[in-house]
């Protein structure tokens, strides 16, 4: 008997262009199967795309390198046949009596013909639908099965106008597919329009009865002390006779150490007619005071494992299904004070600070490992929401799994965008895809795929557009809330008490989350669909704090710059792309940046806005080369995004309910709007966001120069103090203020005192400001925030000669190595002066907060079991606690210098040290998770930095420290 369960078919695939294969699908899967990598066959990327396969085999240039994409023929010029490909593989499977095998495709773009052992099946159109085929009767008796899939591109791939534009000529909008693929102002066109078997392929073996799409819903009472789990599932009897079966549901939770506790175990007897599908609702399960799932920054992400199994009389186990599930309640409404949509989780208001997301990779090279890094990066930035933009994907279960793990709420849009579905140049078709029934089929299937994830917060019809009326009405109807979830304060009555006629909430398609018709409606932007999101360009940092910057309560898109570090430019462009922009002075005094053609192609956005914003890089002096330009760009990135989030947070609840930055990353090697690049190296803007979005944060209002404390927690802050110190370029401290015995109410931003140094006698034109919020009882630092500032009307040009200062540093590193994973803690000390005895905050003993504990497991390889994965955090916490007391591997390095002053803008990088590296070659090991980077230290100050990464086989890592005063990069490990 074959083992019950799922096997993923993700290796051993071959691919070939259909016009080069002169055989039928029947021949390929019977008498003339490919024997290997003989032309025209090549190693296929499955899951993946045709273009991904061609890149993998070096049959085309890398479209993300330099101008490589320009060399690749576009489907508009080649015709659809050019990107119509065969995909071939084999699998072993021998079933016993009463066993069944389903062949599953979680996503094909756009339609396909399938041949298995000579038998043909049609996989109909639609990128966002699952296909599951019972192929039991056509399996080969000897167990060796031959599978060939002919994949056709979207029906309407469109053409790319010479001027580019948003979504090309918009023809792709006639299909139910990703719309970004014709190019956007942040993305070059994808030449095959993402044609391929782009998501998971699997076979699943069951007995006579199959479990289909269970739905889990929780309801809460008595202030979240009583919780009920509602579960409904479909069951299909594939056999030719009535079956008697036991249906079991089990809920387990995990303690530290991987010990599981069974919270519930329930069994029911069912009789299912032959060949029929039935829907079964379990009696609700009661939990008293369960651990709740909270978003990032509000609490822990408690997850329970829900397992459903079906045992058939006379056969044994027939099928099983499991899912990690979090008990939480998400509510939202339009806030009367701000007009913005206000979200509550488990009854607590949450101030939304997050970002817009397109997709992980433009060639759909999606993986658990990459998703894990992507989502962990968002959590590291202290974000609490990701918006999946309507021109991209309905994101995959793996994406949602990591959002569940790391506490990122998800706003998921359907496949409508204003530019492709009603606006744009040329004006696009307002009626959405040609096949509205197909759109709704894909929408329903997507809801079923994703609805059990606690991180999923809301459904939205489209980006800057509402779906056509019939689709919009259908979505409103099918995603309507269950009566229990319609009331904001319905935690008193049980579902049964609401009404005898009310269906169990797990009988709904979803019923637990709101549906909003578009991204600028109903509490977002001006709420009416008018263009009131943005802006998308560089701003003066103080502008974000001003009354007139943004007039509505929740901005779903506000964007800016995002040049990566120089090493990424060099790794993704030939030398002609290393030329920095020309700074062209205009008659009115503003500067226009003129980028080189490769930067232009990669959608560079300048650091000035002639007529509105003077060039922010030139504030530091004219860059001399690429390294200088990119370093100065990081200074601007840090200031820009910290000011953006601090400006919004300064008006928390009084003016704003949330903001989503456009955008957090690029699905290719783009040069705008990102906090980490496509190679997974962070920009300094990443750490500006990390600072600004802390749950408790001390900040300077750049418009009023008042020091403010932000408390997003549900508890009041008591007996805390603020230390504000100004440091000049000579290393002295001309301004030092401590404000003690403060209390800050929960969910409030409070101005505390004015920072008066600029109004003092003879203030320095350029100076540093260090703010610390700390507990008076033990000097534990809750928030630390460092600014570099100039007087009004000034600039930062005095920082240029400051680069010559040699400020001495001492770096102590402790390392724990487990397999290929490195966990390190660096203690960086500015040795230029002994700390002032009047304050003990110089040690930076940071107060541990919820969520910090799993930092050091960030780069661990994903494991197969979701339950095991949840335990990685606690496992590494224990390892780290044990390891942190060891000193066997302590290393100390020093950077000598005789100058006193601030060690400015320090940052680490991790490199591979192995023989044979050519000069100029990119040696970085990526990704790396840092607890902080791009940081500065005042005299005497010590900063602990945790670093986590995984090294390739046979590679020895080297850590370098760079900074404004440390140009060449000092080896510290």
Residues with Cβ < 8 Å from 348, sequence gap 6 or more?
298, 714
Taking the CA of residue 271 as centre, how many other CA atoms within 13 Å lie in the half-sphere pointing to its CB? Answer: 2
Kindly state the DSSP code that residue 496 receives in the 8-state scheme.
Answer: H
| Residue 638: closest CA among 591, 699, 684 | 684
Q: What is the pLDDT of residue 486?
A: 87
Q: What is the pLDDT of residue 443?
A: 98
**Residue 477: pLDDT band with limits 50, 70, 90:** very high
Q: What is the pLDDT of residue 840?
A: 80
The percent of residues above 70 in pLDDT, for the chain, comes to 93
Q: What is the pLDDT of residue 866?
A: 39
**Residue 258: pLDDT band with limits 50, 70, 90:** confident
Distance from C-alpha of 700 to C-alpha of 693, rounded to nearest angstrom? 14
Angle between helix 469-478 and helix 436-450 axes, rounded to 10 deg: 30
Q: Which two tokens stand for residue 851?
A: 């969520």
Q: What is the pLDDT of residue 165?
A: 78
pLDDT tens column, 912-963: 986 666 766 899 999 999 999 999 999 999 999 999 999 998 899 999 999 9
| Res 246 pLDDT > 60 | yes
Residue appearing with tokens 């593989």? 89
| Res 536 pLDDT > 60 | yes
**Residue 879: pLDDT band with limits 50, 70, 90:** very low
| Res 488 pLDDT > 80 | no
| Res 871 pLDDT > 50 | no
Q: 264 - beta bridge partners?
A: 251
**Residues 208, 237 contacting (CB under 8 angstroms):** yes
Q: What is the pLDDT of residue 710?
A: 98
**Residues 219, 494 contacting (CB under 8 angstroms):** yes
Question: Average pLDDT in the 571-577 region?
Answer: 97
Question: Within its chain, how far is the Cα of 496 from the centroid?
Answer: 38
Q: Which two tokens stand for residue 28?
A: 């390929």
Strand order in the sheet with 928-930: 891-895, 809-818, 821-830, 942-950, 928-930
Question: Within its chain, how far is the Cα of 710 from the centroid?
Answer: 25
pLDDT tens column, 777-792: 999 999 999 999 999 9
pLDDT tens column, 79-94: 999 999 999 999 999 9
Least confident of 8-17, 726-735, 756-765, 915-924: 915-924
Kindly state the DSSP code that residue 639 receives in the 8-state scheme.
Answer: H
Q: Which two tokens stand for residue 124?
A: 């109909």
| Res 878 pLDDT > 60 | no
User: H or E segment at 568?
Assistant: helix 566-572
Distance from C-alpha of 947 to C-alpha of 187, rounded to nearest angstrom? 32
Q: What is the pLDDT of residue 499?
A: 59
Q: What is the dihedral of CA 177, 178, 183, 189, to 10 degrees?
A: -70
pLDDT tens column, 154-168: 999 999 998 777 999
Domains along the sequence of the chain with CATH: 5-205 (2.60.120.260), 209-325 (2.60.40.10), 362-492+500-558+633-695 (3.20.20.80), 704-728+736-791 (2.60.40.10), 809-843+875-972 (2.60.40.10)
Q: What is the mean pLDDT of the chain?
A: 93
Catalytic residue positions, numbered: 464, 557
pLDDT tens column, 193-242: 999 999 999 999 999 999 999 999 999 999 999 999 999 999 999 999 99
Strands 226-237 and 277-281: antiparallel
pLDDT tens column, 259-305: 888 899 999 999 999 999 999 999 999 999 999 999 999 999 999 99
> What's phi and psi for 948, nearest 5 deg?
-135, 130
Residues with Cβ < 8 Å from 921, sequence gap 6 or more?
none
pLDDT tens column, 377-426: 999 999 999 999 999 999 999 999 999 999 999 999 999 999 999 988 88
Please tell me the total number of residues recorded for the chain in this structure.
Answer: 973
3-state SS class at 36: coil
Question: Average pLDDT in the 106-134 region?
Answer: 98
Q: What is the pLDDT of residue 498?
A: 57
**Residue 865: pLDDT band with limits 50, 70, 90:** very low
Q: What is the pLDDT of residue 859?
A: 30
| Residue 757: closest CA among 732, 779, 783, 782 | 732
Q: What is the pLDDT of residue 567?
A: 97
pTM of the model: 0.95
**Residues 770, 938 contacting (CB under 8 angstroms):** yes
| Res 244 pLDDT > 90 | yes
| Res 502 pLDDT > 70 | yes
Q: What is the pLDDT of residue 921?
A: 87
Q: 528 - beta bridge partners?
A: 521
Distance from C-alpha of 362 to C-alpha of 617, rounded to nearest angstrom? 30
Q: Which two tokens stand for residue 882?
A: 């044990």
**Residue 968: pLDDT band with limits 50, 70, 90:** confident
Distance from C-alpha of 336 to C-alpha of 657, rounded to nearest angstrom? 11
> Cis (ω within 30 of 0) for the bond into 110?
yes
CB burial readout 717-726, b (16+ within 10 A) else e: beebbbbbbb
Residue 444: how many other CB atoms lie within 10 Å: 17
């Amino acid at each position: 008997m074959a083992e019950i369960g799922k096997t993923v078919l993700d290796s051993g695939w071959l691919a070939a262009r259909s016009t080069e294969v002169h055989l039928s699908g029947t021949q390929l899967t019977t008498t003339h199967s490919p024997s290997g990598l003989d032309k025209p066959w090549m190693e296929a990327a499955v899951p993946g795309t045709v273009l991904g396969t061609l890149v993998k085999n070096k049959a085309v240039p890398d479209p993300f390198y330099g101008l490589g994409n320009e060399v690749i023929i576009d489907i508009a010029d080649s015709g659809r046949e050019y990107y119509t490909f065969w995909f071939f593989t084999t699998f072993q499977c021998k079933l016993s009596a009463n066993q069944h095998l389903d062949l599953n495709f979680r996503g094909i773009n756009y339609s396909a013909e399938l041949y298995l052992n000579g038998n043909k099946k049609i996989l109909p159109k639609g990128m966002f639908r699952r296909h599951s085929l019972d192929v039991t009767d056509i399996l080969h008796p000897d167990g060796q099965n031959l599978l060939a899939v002919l994949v056709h591109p979207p029906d309407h791939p469109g053409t790319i106008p010479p001027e580019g534009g948003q979504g090309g000529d918009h023809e792709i909008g006639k299909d139910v597919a990703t719309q970004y693929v014709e190019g956007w102002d942040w993305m070059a066109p994808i030449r095959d329009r993402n044609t391929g078997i782009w998501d998971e392929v699997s076979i699943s073996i069951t007995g006579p009865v199959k479990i289909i799409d269970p739905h889990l819903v929780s309801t809460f009472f008595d202030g979240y002390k009583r919780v009920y789990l509602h579960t409904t599932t479909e069951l299909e009897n594939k056999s030719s006779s009535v079956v008697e079966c036991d249906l079991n549901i089990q809920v387990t939770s995990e303690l530290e150490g991987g010990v599981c506790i069974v919270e519930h175990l329930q069994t029911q007897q069912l009789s299912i007619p032959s060949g029929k599908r039935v829907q079964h609702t379990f009696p609700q399960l009661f939990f008293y005071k369960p651990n709740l799932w909270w978003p990032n920054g509000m609490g822990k992400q408690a997850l329970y494992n829900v397992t459903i199994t079906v045992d058939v009389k006379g056969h044994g186990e027939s099928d099983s299904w499991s899912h990690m599930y979090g008990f939480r309640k998400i509510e939202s409404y339009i806030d009367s004070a701000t007009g913005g949509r206000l979200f509550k989780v488990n009854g607590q208001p949450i101030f939304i600070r997050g970002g817009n997301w397109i997709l992980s990779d433009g060639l759909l090279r999606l993986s658990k490992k990459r998703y894990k890094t992507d989502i962990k990066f968002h959590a590291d930035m202290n974000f609490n929401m990701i918006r999946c933009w309507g021109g991209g994907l309905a994101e995959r279960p793996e994406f949602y799994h990591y959002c569940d793990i790391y506490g990122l709420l998800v706003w998921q849009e359907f496949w409508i965008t204003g530019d492709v579905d009603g606006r744009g140049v040329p004006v696009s078709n307002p009626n959405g895809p040609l096949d509205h029934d197909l759109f709704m089929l894909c929408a329903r299937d997507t809801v079923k795929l994703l609805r059990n994830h606690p991180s999923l917060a809301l459904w939205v019809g489209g980006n800057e557009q509402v779906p056509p009326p019939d689709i919009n009405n259908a979505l409103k109807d099918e995603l309507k809330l269950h009566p229990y979830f319609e009331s904001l304060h319905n935690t008193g009555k049980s579902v049964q008490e609401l009404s005898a006629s009310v269906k169990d909430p797990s009988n709904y398609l979803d019923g637990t989350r709101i549906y909003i018709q578009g991204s600028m409606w109903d509490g977002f932007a001006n709420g009416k669909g008018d263009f009131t999101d943005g802006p998308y360009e560089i701003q003066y940092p103080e502008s974000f704090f001003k009354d007139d910057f943004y007039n509505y309560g929740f901005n779903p898109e506000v964007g800016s710059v995002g040049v990566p570090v120089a090493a990424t430019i060099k790794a993704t462009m030939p030398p002609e792309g290393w030329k920095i922009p020309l700074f062209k002075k205009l008659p009115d005094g503003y500067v226009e940046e003129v980028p080189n053609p490769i930067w232009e192609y990669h959608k560079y956005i300048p650091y000035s806005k002639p007529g509105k914003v003077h060039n922010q890089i030139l504030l530091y002096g004219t860059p001399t080369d690429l390294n200088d330009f990119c370093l100065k760009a990081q200074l601007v990135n840090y200031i820009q995004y910290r000011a953006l989030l601090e400006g919004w947070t300064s008006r928390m609840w009084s003016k704003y309910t949330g903001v989503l930055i456009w955008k957090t990353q690029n699905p290719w090697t783009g040069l705008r709007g990102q906090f980490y690049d496509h190679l997974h190296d962070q920009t300094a803007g990443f750490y500006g966001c990390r600072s600004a979005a802390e749950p408790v944060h001390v900040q300077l209002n750049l418009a009023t120069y008042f020091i403010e404390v932000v408390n997003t927690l549900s508890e009041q802050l008591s007996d805390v103090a603020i230390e504000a110190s100004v440091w000049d370029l000579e290393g002295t401290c001309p301004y030092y203020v401590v404000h003690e015995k403060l209390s800050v109410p929960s969910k409030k931003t409070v101005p505390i005192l004015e920072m008066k140094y600029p109004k003092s006698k003879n203030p320095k034109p350029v100076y540093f400001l260090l703010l610390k919020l700390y507990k008076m009882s033990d000097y534990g630092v809750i928030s630390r925030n460092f600014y570099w500032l100039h007087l009004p009307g000034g600039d930062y040009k005095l920082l240029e000669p400051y680069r010559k200062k040699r400020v001495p540093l001492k770096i102590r590193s402790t390392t724990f190595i487990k397999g290929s994973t490195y966990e390190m803690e660096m203690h960086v000390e500015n040795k230029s002066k002994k700390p002032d005895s009047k304050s003990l905050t110089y040690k930076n003993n940071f107060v541990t907060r919820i969520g910090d504990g799993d930092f050091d497991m960030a780069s661990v390889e994903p494991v197969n079991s979701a339950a095991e994965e949840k335990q990685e955090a606690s496992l590494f916490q224990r390892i780290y606690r044990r390891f942190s007391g060891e000193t066997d591997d302590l290393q100390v390095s020093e950077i000598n210098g005789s100058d006193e002053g601030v060690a400015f803008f320090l940052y680490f990088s991790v490199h591979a040290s192995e023989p044979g590296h050519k000069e100029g070659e990119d040696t970085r090991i990526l990704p790396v998770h840092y607890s902080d980077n791009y940081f500065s230290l005042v005299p005497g100050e010590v900063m602990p930095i945790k670093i986590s990464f995984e090294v390739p086989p046979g590679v020895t890592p080297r850590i370098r420290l760079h900074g404004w005063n440390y140009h060449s990069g000092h080896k510290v490990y």
